[in-house]
Each structure stands twice: as C-alpha cells, then as structure tokens.
Copies of this chain bind each other. A is one copy, B any other.
C-alpha cells in the first residue's frame, strides 16, 4: 500500500502520543503525533495534526514549511500534506507568500490587538445570538464545563484549561442552531494560536473574577447585554497580560523569527 521502505521502521505501538523532531538546515520543527484513526482520511489526520501544532505554537512563525519535509516528519506521502496546508492557509492559520512558500504568519503587537478586538466583537455577537436558544440541557452542559474549568484551574493543568475554555465558548455559541460565525471565530483562535495558551498560563496567576459564572447568571436572566459584557470581559481579561505593551512585546518577540 503506502509502505515503500523496506527498513524495519520503529513500530507504532500502543503509545498514544510521541514527539517527532527533525533538525533541518534551518530550525528544528517539533510536532506532536497522535495515533491515526483508520476511519479518518490521511488528509484529515494531517490537517488536525498540523492545526494542533499551529495552535500550540509548536511551529515558530516565519519558519518555511515545505510539503516534502512535513510529509517525511508525518510519515505520509506529500499529497495529504499539500491539501492540509492549503486548507489551513484558507483558514488564515498559515500564510502563503508570493514565493509560494508556506509559513506560520508572524505576530505583531497591532495585529494581536486587532485579533483580540475582533474576537470580542464577533464572540459577543455570537453569544447574544445564541442566548434565546439556550435550553436547560445546554445550561447544564455549560455549568459542567465551568465546574471542570475550576477544577483544572486548581490543579494548574494549563493544557486542560485551554481546551475546556474553548469548549465552553463553543458550547455557548453552538446553542444557536443556525450558527454561522463559529468557523470565523475558530479562525481567529487559530491565528491567536500560541498566545491563547500564554493567556491561560497568565490567567492562573491573576485569577480574576470568574467571568464564566457571570455569563451563566446573564443567561439565566436572559440578559443579552450582561452576557455580552461577560464574554467581552472574559476575552479581554484573558489577554490582560498583554495590556502591558512591554509584556506583549516580549511574547511577540519571543515567537518572532529573526528578520531575514
């Protein structure tokens, strides 16, 4: 089938997750590999893998991504990589330069600010639009997620906090059965990428008011304005660490490749 190398390559045993690192001429690229479910296409698996890598900031901005290199890392043929890259580029997770080279877009302070404000504008809108559709089941689901987040916050499990926080927002917006903005919101999440993780890590320090509880009270009262305010505050305070231009600059510089 797709196996062409006669070499006894290291078998993928029950280990659910491992790391693959390749030292290229440029900078090393490290991607978390997960077991591929046979029921999903290779392209989808590659897409999800690369998406996670971008979201987790495992690929540093400015680094040129080549199809063949990624194919070698993921141990697949170039074809699925090609399609996954194009899809991610269409979602603004990756950027195709004039050279037809693909890379993670570099972050700037202004762009970061714009992304945050866009998140606030769109997500508060999505929340208000979802409000009338929230039934008891959904409310209970949101409460459960909020509880889990609190739990994860006590344990300091940043990975879990980040994912659960996304799930909370997603569960809120998808209450609207005619939802059309979630793909746009997810695109913004992707572009904010590793900074969302930084946000959650800093959130633990400050441990501000639980805006999720505030949001739920607004939902119970069917108060759209209060809900929008809660969501806006949640997002804004999530990135409060970046309010200090100094800190923001440091994070951005950290992820910025040297100007070539």
Residues of A within 8 A of B (CB): 2-6, 82-83, 86-92, 95-96, 98-100, 108, 110-111, 113-115, 117-118, 121-122, 125, 129, 176-181, 183-184, 187-188, 191
Contact = CB atoms under 8 A, between A and B. Distances in A.
A5 B102 CA distance: 12
Mostly, the A contact residues are helix
A183 B191 CA distance: 12
Contact of A178 (B86, B114, B176, B178): B114
Given A6-B95, A114-B129, 10 more contacts: A2-B99, A5-B98, A92-B180, A108-B178, A117-B129, A118-B125, A118-B180, A121-B121, A121-B125, A122-B122
A191 B187 contact: no
10 contacts: A5-B98, A82-B83, A83-B83, A83-B86, A87-B90, A111-B178, A121-B121, A122-B184, A184-B187, A184-B188
A134 B4 CA distance: 44
Given A83-B83, A91-B90, A184-B184, A125 B114 contact: no
Chain A to chain B: the 5 pairs with minimum beta-carbon distance, closest first: A90-B90, A121-B125, A110-B178, A184-B184, A2-B98
Contacts of A183: 92, 187
Contacts of A117: 125, 129
A8 to B, nearest CB: 12
Contact of A96 (B5, B177, B181): B5
A90 B190 CA distance: 13
Contact of A118 (B2, B118, B181): B181
Contact of A86 (B6, B87, B111, B121): B87
Contacts of A95: 6
| Most chain B C-beta atoms within 10 Å of own C-beta, residue among A82, A90, A110, A188 | A90
A101 to B, nearest CB: 11
Contacts of A177: 110
Nearest to A41: B100
A92 to B, nearest CB: 5
